[in-house]
Amino acid sequence: MKHLGTMLLLSLPVQAGLIFYDGQDAGSSFVNTAYDPAGMTYTMANSSVLPVTGGRRIVNGGGDILNQNDYHSLSLAPADNWDNAGLLDAGSGSVGGGNVSGTLYASFLLRSQSPVSGTLENKAISPGGAYAAFHLGLGAGSGAAGKLGMGNHWDAWAYSLFGVAGNKDLVQGSGGSTWLDYNANVHWMVARIDFTAGAADNFTVWLDPNPDDLDAQASGVRRATGTGDLAFNQVSYRAGNQPGVNVWEFDEVRFGTSWADMQAVTVVPEASTASILALGLALLLRRVRA
């Protein structure tokens, strides 16, 4: 019996070493954003399909004006995944704060329900421009310190960043056709953040990278780089300022310490030993009765 239970445990899907994962399923916290069980699908540049679970989160576009952004605490604590990865600063209670040195990768899927337009992006048209981002920061609000927003910065028209290093469009390394106007397709953003204790941190964010190329992405892949003092204890889903028009979707949020974590096979919560043994017993009895 023990042997059978062990074999079953080894044959179950194993979740990769993620620090944090949210597939946006029904178990996620949805306060000011909507849940759609359909979820997103995405084929990476190496022709592999990104493993996904759950549904997707939809931000209506009301943003800070109508309080329709969702902010979620990471509930950081000693000996948790962040701490075990060496990325939790105990003094500030934040990822990447004060005394932290180390590398963190983050990735997510995003999609605008509408392609860019002058009506959406024009600052002169009330309520004034549009933006969207998966956001890392300290506390709620767009003015929070140590922030990094990845998506479409205000009045940018393009896939871009805002926050600690200023507003930056994601552009091709070769120059090429530079930025990409945001559209209604699903895109994948991957960030590498290099934290430096007591000094400014460095980061690179790629749009639709090829995971086979790791950090050495081809020059045609759009990216932005920056330097700034980044720390966070909260993740946010944001879009504004055009309610019902500037609507964005987010899915498949991953944090880890390698590129492999960004394309990890995700599974339902790990089965307990008791459930594994019960499954083994049921299969054994079924086999004996047969």
* Per-residue model confidence as pLDDT tens digits over 135-144: 999 975 545 5
Q: What integer pLDDT is reported at residue 156 of this predicted model?
A: 87
Query: Using an 8 Å Cβ cutoff, are 197 and 188 in contact?
Result: no
Q: What integer pLDDT is reported at residue 177 of this predicted model?
A: 87
Q: Per-residue DSSP letters for 8-51?
A: HHHHS------SEEE---TTS--SSSEEETT----B-TTSPBPP
Query: Using an 8 Å Cβ cutoff, are 16 and 260 in contact?
Result: yes
Q: Provide the terminal-to-terminal Cα distance of the chain, rounded to the nearest Å.
A: 18
Architecture of domain 17-264: Sandwich (2.60)
Q: What integer pLDDT is reported at residue 180 of this predicted model?
A: 95
pTM: 0.85
Query: Using an 8 Å Cβ cutoff, are 60 and 246 in contact?
Result: no
Q: Which positions of the chain have pLDDT values less than 50?
A: 1-16, 142, 267-290
Q: What integer pLDDT is reported at residue 145 of this predicted model?
A: 55
- Residue among 111, 136, 143, 102 at smallest CA distance from 246: 111
Q: Which residues contact 168 (CB under 8 A, 6 or more apart)?
A: 153, 160, 161, 162, 224, 225, 226
Spatial separation of the C-alpha atoms in residues 126 and 129, rounded to whole Å = 8
Residue-wise pLDDT tens digits, 162-196: 998 889 999 999 888 899 999 999 999 999 999 99
